């Protein structure tokens, strides 16, 4: 009996990547096209299916088995990808980022094992090691692959001389990754190493707040392979310098200095924030507290406070933090949300950044704003401070940063790069279907 399911177009290759977030679960289906005579793929379409539940619940035993948990997603995936044989040759993987570890190692592993059991019987192509918590280096390299794949910088294009670097600001970590050329790692600014740079804020009296593990830095040189070609990368991952983890540290310093509730420079000037719940602390000592604050919004003071916080909790102000000259970078995730979504252009000038910062910090208290605007002054000041560091206080004119969240309608992040990683070795199995007889599904 012939299969009646509508067939995908010739050269179609699918890959499924599940992003196991701390607040929900997203399954992304990527539909690629393989052109005869080419070794690469072209992305034709992508679709996201979401659940509000996090797989963290699987670690507590409160939501039943992994099979029950993933059933709604699997039903949607089977409708999206036609044919039993095609699904059997379509790779499916699940990755979580470091935030999953916050529920505890034992519970996290229990959740991942339940996910493995569910994907193993899903009807898709699956391997046990395709379920994991991504290491920072993996997250960075997948993000780099995503950006450059969507810009067409692979596919055997010999004319590409400058592949893009990637800057990814998440809630818990920040990733910087670029292609090494002639053995370069980063730029030497000629300044002293570490954070004792002239004209920059320091906080030696706060060094005891940081602890040994306040910010984990993973710096690495390695090679990734995309469609058979090797690319040497350099990445630096800062676990603990994501947007939300940074604000916890900032508020911890304000609390110690006595300016959290009165004279806070990172909340709107003159605005009283009654019963505001804030998160404080560093990993291992975090707490939530409800406070009442009167803002004293001042962009310059808030930026100075951000610089002190960075100096206290990290080595980000070392000479290796300036981005390499002449290498264009795409900045996405919270880099995009806290710039372009606030009305800035994708390549803002220093003057435009300062004007936006002053606007956010000094918006009068009687002006109606969205609820999540409360922390906009603090969060934007952090992004601005990072840009100062990356560009050597905007002195390095050859550093090119562009804020983007989508390329041709496809979202930037690690998921597409990870989907490409698992589909490359097995895509020939899907392509072979075009030469096999049709049978009943």
The response to whether 321 counts as a known ligand-binding position is no
Rounded to 10 degrees, the C-alpha dihedral 284/285/290/296 comes to -110
Q: List beta partners, residue 264.
A: 295
Contacts of 73 (CB under 8 A, 6+ apart): 18, 25, 27, 49, 51
Q: DSSP letter for 8, please.
A: P
Contacts of 152 (CB under 8 A, 6+ apart): none
The response to whether 174 counts as a known ligand-binding position is yes
The response to whether 37 counts as a known ligand-binding position is no
Q: What angle do the packed helices 299-313 and 376-390 form, to 10 degrees? A: 60
Q: Give the residue from 388, 216, 193, 385 showing the smallest Cα distance to 308.
A: 385
3 state SS of 313: helix
The response to whether 173 counts as a known ligand-binding position is yes
Q: Is 139 a catalytic residue?
A: yes
Edge-first strand order for the sheet with 42-51 is: 42-51, 25-33, 12-20, 92-96, 131-133
Q: How far, rounded to the nearest angstrom, does the alpha carbon of residue 211 sit from its chain's CA centroid?
A: 25
Q: Give the residue from 157, 160, 163 showing the smallest Cα distance to 42.
A: 157
Helix (H) / strand (E) containing 381: helix 376-390
The response to whether 172 counts as a known ligand-binding position is yes
Spot the catalytic one: 114, 139, 179, 379: 139
Edge-first strand order for the sheet with 328-333 is: 216-226, 229-239, 173-179, 165-169, 328-333, 400-403
The whole-angstrom separation of Cα 213 and Cα 216 is 6
- Binding-site residues for ATP: 171-175
- Binding-site residues: 171-175
Residues designated catalytic? 139
């Amino acid at each position: 009996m012939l299969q009646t399911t509508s067939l995908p177009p010739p050269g179609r290759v699918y890959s499924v990547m599940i992003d196991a977030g701390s607040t929900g679960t997203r399954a992304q289906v990527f539909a690629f096209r393989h052109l005869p005579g080419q070794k690469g793929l072209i992305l034709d379409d992508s679709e996201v299916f979401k659940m509000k539940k996090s797989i963290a619940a699987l670690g507590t035993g409160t939501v039943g088995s992994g099979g029950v948990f993933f059933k709604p997603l699997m039903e949607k995936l089977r409708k999206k990808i036609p044919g039993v044989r095609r699904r059997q040759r379509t790779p499916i993987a699940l990755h979580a980022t470091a935030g999953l570890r916050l529920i505890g190692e034992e519970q996290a592993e229990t959740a991942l094992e339940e996910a493995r059991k569910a994907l193993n019987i899903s009807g898709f192509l699956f391997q046990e090691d395709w379920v994991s918590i991504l290491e920072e280096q993996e997250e960075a390299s997948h993000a780099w692959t995503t950006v450059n794949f969507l810009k067409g910088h692979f596919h055997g294009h010999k004319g590409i001389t400058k592949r893009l670097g990637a800057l990814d600001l998440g809630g818990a970590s920040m990733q910087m990754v670029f292609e090494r050329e002639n053995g370069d790692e980063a730029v030497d600014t000629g300044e002293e190493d570490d954070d004792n740079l002239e004209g920059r804020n320091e906080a030696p009296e706060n060094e005891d707040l940081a602890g040994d593990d306040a910010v984990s830095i993973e710096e690495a040189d390695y090679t990734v392979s995309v469609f058979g070609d090797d690319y040497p990368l350099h990445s630096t991952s800062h676990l603990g310098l994501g947007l939300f983890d940074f604000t916890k540290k900032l508020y911890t310093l304000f609390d110690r200095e006595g300016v959290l509730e009165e004279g806070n420079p990172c909340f709107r000037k003159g605005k009283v924030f009654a019963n505001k719940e804030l998160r404080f602390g560093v990993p291992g000592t975090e707490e939530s507290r409800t406070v009442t604050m009167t803002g004293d919004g001042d962009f310059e003071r808030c930026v100075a406070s951000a610089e002190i916080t960075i100096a206290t909790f990290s080595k980000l102000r070392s000479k290796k933090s300036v981005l390499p000259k002449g290498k264009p970078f795409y900045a996405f995730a919270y880099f995009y949300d806290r710039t372009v979504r606030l009305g800035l252009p994708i390549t803002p000038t220093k003057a435009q950044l300062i004007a936006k910062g002053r606007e956010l910090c000094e918006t009068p208290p009687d002006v109606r704003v969205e609820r999540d605007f409360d922390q906009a002054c603090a969060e934007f000041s952090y992004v601005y401070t990072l840009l100062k560091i990356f560009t050597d206080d905007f002195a390095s004119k050859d550093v090119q940063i562009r804020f983007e969240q989508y390329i041709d309608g496809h979202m930037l992040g690690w998921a597409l790069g990870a989907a490409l990683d698992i589909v490359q070795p097995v895509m020939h199995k899907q392509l072979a279907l075009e030469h096999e007889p049709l049978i009943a599904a």
